[in-house]
């Protein structure tokens, strides 16, 4: 008996040892976290965020604040806190800031933020942004902005959830993730402008911004397939960032990356028209994920029923994969170009 037990113990010890060695050497299964981003969950969130109840999410309106509270509830449910150094999930964007040059009469509004602290380099920040405001109610019609930018808004919820799931399982990001829902975009990128002038974390420690604005539809140029995304800005400041976008896409997501609008001289000027620009201005590498415009752009018909959730899901997965790689790679991505 004794001898038998002894060898059994050794066998158990060897087995245990080889299993733990295997676990340590095994690459973190990022695919599992990518796959936690699903069409169904995106649809559940978007059906609420872009419902009439949110009154088109006009900057500073009660409808926008209601949408904001829904976002915060999701972070609380997931156990995702507001950032270190903040006192709540809100960054107030004062009316004076938004109205000073524009002559508009907007009330105070709020950016909303959530935070997944990095395990190894917590002071290096990867921002993932999307605007949650839209244009409100006009002539009695609610402009639900399901694509613009309800799609990016719910993408952020799913990306945050995927990072948090990884963190709970011991695979949290090495660098910190700042989830940033910005306000006032439709009036002039005010929320991101305010953040970049009043950053919670030093600009010098801000590694990149992955900005997601309109990722649930297709444009005229892609009538035959929604399996694409326009990437804009990824190679303007950092060759590393461009390569990361290409690599994670070919490894995990397999969208057609379209660089048609990756051109500062393009007459549409998309590079200057969403929130990433307020980070790029300060020399922070950015990538903008965008599906292009369509007939419902800034119309009351930008509705949830027209969202293609298979496309929204893959584009959200791409945004997550890019942020994951930036946050987890050994070296911080290098700024090796002047952005011009
Ligand atoms: Zn937008």
As a 3-state breakdown, the chain gives helix, strand, coil percent values, each rounded to 5, of: 45, 15, 40
Ligand 1 midpoint to CA 189 (Å): 9
Query: What is the per-residue pLDDT for 164?
Result: 98
* 310 Cα–ligand 1 center, Å: 20
What is the reported pLDDT for 15?
52
- CA–CA distance, 315 with 227 (Å, rounded to integer): 9
- Distance in Å, CA 185 to ligand 1 centroid: 7
Binned at pLDDT 50, 70 and 90, residue 2 comes out as: very low
Over residues 179-199, mean pLDDT: 98
147 C-alpha to ligand 1 centroid (Å): 8
Position 280 pLDDT exceeds 70: yes
Kindly tell me if the per-residue pLDDT of 175 is higher than 80: yes
> Does residue 315 contact residue 228 with C-beta atoms inside 8 Å?
no
Q: Which of 7-16, 99-108, 234-243, 272-281 has the lowest mean pLDDT?
A: 7-16
Cα–ligand 1 centroid distance for 297 (angstroms): 9
- Distance from the CA of 135 to the center of ligand 1, in angstroms? 10
* b/e 134-160 (16+ beta carbons within 10 angstroms → b): bbbeeeeebbbbbbbbbbbbbbbbbbb
Q: Is-contact 98 116, C-beta < 8 A?
A: no
Neighbours of 24 (CB within 10 A): 7
pLDDT (tens digit per residue) in 123-151: 999 999 999 999 999 999 999 999 999 99
Q: Which pLDDT value is given to residue 4? A: 47
pLDDT of the residue at 185:
97
In percent, how much of the chain has pLDDT > 70?
Answer: 92
Q: Is the pLDDT of residue 189 over 90?
A: yes
Maximum alpha-carbon separation in the chain: 89
Ligand 1 geometric centre to CA of 240 (Å): 26
User: How close is the Cα of 269 to the center of ligand 1, in Å?
Assistant: 13
Sign of the dihedral defined by the CA atoms of residues 79, 83, 85, 90, in that order: negative
Q: What is the mean pLDDT of residues 207-222?
A: 98
User: 5-63 pLDDT, tens per residue?
Assistant: 445 445 555 555 444 444 444 568 899 999 999 999 999 999 999 999 999 999 999 99
Q: How far is the CA of 120 from the centre of ligand 1 (A)?
A: 34
**Could you give the C-alpha distances from 324 to 45, 86, 113, 235, 256, in angstroms and in order?**
22, 24, 18, 18, 20
Q: Identify the residue with better confidence: 119 or 3.
A: 119
Which two structure tokens, joined as six digits, stand for 130?
């999307």
Alpha carbons 319 and 334: distance in angstroms, whole number = 19
What distance in angstroms lies between residue 57's CA and the mean position of ligand 1's atoms?
A: 12
Give the pLDDT score at 338. Answer: 87
**pLDDT, averaged across the chain:** 93
Q: Quote the CA–CA distance of 268 and 246 in Å, as a whole number.
A: 24
Q: Do residues 183 and 257 make contact, with C-beta atoms less than 8 angstroms apart?
A: no
Average pLDDT over residues 197-215: 98
Coil, helix or strand for 116? strand
Q: Residue 75's closest CA among 54, 86, 89, 65?
A: 89
- Gap from CA of 121 to ligand 1 centroid (Å): 31
Please list, in sequence order, all residues whose beta carbon lies within 8 angstroms of the beta carbon of residue 266, skipping any fewer than 6 positions away.
260
- The encoded tokens of residue 280 equal 């790029």
pLDDT tens-digit series, residues 290-301: 999 999 999 999
Going by DSSP bridges, is the β-strand pair 286-290/109-116 parallel, antiparallel, or unpaired? unpaired
CA of 18 to the centre of ligand 1 (A): 51
For residue range 71-112, list pLDDT tens digits in order.
999 999 999 999 999 999 999 999 999 999 888 999 999 999
**DSSP for 1-45?**
-HHHHHHHHHHHHHHHHHHHHHHHHSPP-HHHHHTT--HHHHHHH
> Which are the contacts of 31, defined by CB distance < 8 A and separation ≥ 6?
252
CA 176 to centroid of ligand 1, rounded, Å: 25
Say how many Å lie between the CA of residue 136 and the centre of ligand 1.
Answer: 13
User: Is 69 a residue whose pLDDT tops 60?
Assistant: yes
User: Model-level pTM?
Assistant: 0.92
What distance in angstroms lies between residue 28's CA and the mean position of ligand 1's atoms? 34
For the residues 213-224, what does the mean pLDDT come to? 98
Q: What 3-state class would DSSP assign to 177?
A: strand
pLDDT of residue 21: 43
What residues form DSSP beta bridges with 93?
109
pLDDT score at 23 = 42
Q: How many residues does the chain have?
A: 340
**Ligand 1 centroid, distance to 158 Cα (angstroms):** 18
Provide mean pLDDT across the span 305-311.
Answer: 98
What's the gap in Å between 20 CA and the centre of ligand 1? 47
Instruction: Give the distance from CA 283 to its chain's centroid.
Output: 19
Please, are residues 113 and 180 in contact by the beta-carbon 8 Å criterion? yes
């Amino acid at each position: 008996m004794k001898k038998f037990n002894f060898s059994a113990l050794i066998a158990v010890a060897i087995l245990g040892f080889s299993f733990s060695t295997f676990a340590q050497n095994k690459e973190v299964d990022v695919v599992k976290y990518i796959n936690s981003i699903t069409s169904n969950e995106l649809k559940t969130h978007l059906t609420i965020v872009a419902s009439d109840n949110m009154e088109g999410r006009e900057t500073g309106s009660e409808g926008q604040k209601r949408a904001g509270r829904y976002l915060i509830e999701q972070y609380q449910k997931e156990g995702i806190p507001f950032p270190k150094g903040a006192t709540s999930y809100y960054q107030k964007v004062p009316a004076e800031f938004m109205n000073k040059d524009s002559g508009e009469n907007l009330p105070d509004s709020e950016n909303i933020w959530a935070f997944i602290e990095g395990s190894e380099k917590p002071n290096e920040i990867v921002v993932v942004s999307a605007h949650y405001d839209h244009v409100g109610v006009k002539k009695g019609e609610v402009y639900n902005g399901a694509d613009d930018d309800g799609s990016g808004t719910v993408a952020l919820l799913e990306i945050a959830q995927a990072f948090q799931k990884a963190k709970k399982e011991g695979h949290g990001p090495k660098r910190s993730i700042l989830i940033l829902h910005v306000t006032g975009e439709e009036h002039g990128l005010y929320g991101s402008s305010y953040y970049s002038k009043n950053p919670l974390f030093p600009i010098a420690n801000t590694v990149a911004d992955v900005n997601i604005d309109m990722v649930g539809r297709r444009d005229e140029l892609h009538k035959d397939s929604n399996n694409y995304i326009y990437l804009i800005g990824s190679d303007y400041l950092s060759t590393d960032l461009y390569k990361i976008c290409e690599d994670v896409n070919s490894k995990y997501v397999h969208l057609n990356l379209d660089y048609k609008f990756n051109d500062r001289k393009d007459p549409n000027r998309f590079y200057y028209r969403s929130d990433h620009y307020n980070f790029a201005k300060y020399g922070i590498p950015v990538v903008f994920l965008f599906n292009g415009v369509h007939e419902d752009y800034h119309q009351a018909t930008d509705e949830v029923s027209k969202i293609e959730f298979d496309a929204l899901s893959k584009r959200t997965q791409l945004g997550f994969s890019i942020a994951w790689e930036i946050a987890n790679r050994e070296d911080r991505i290098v700024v090796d170009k002047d952005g011009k």
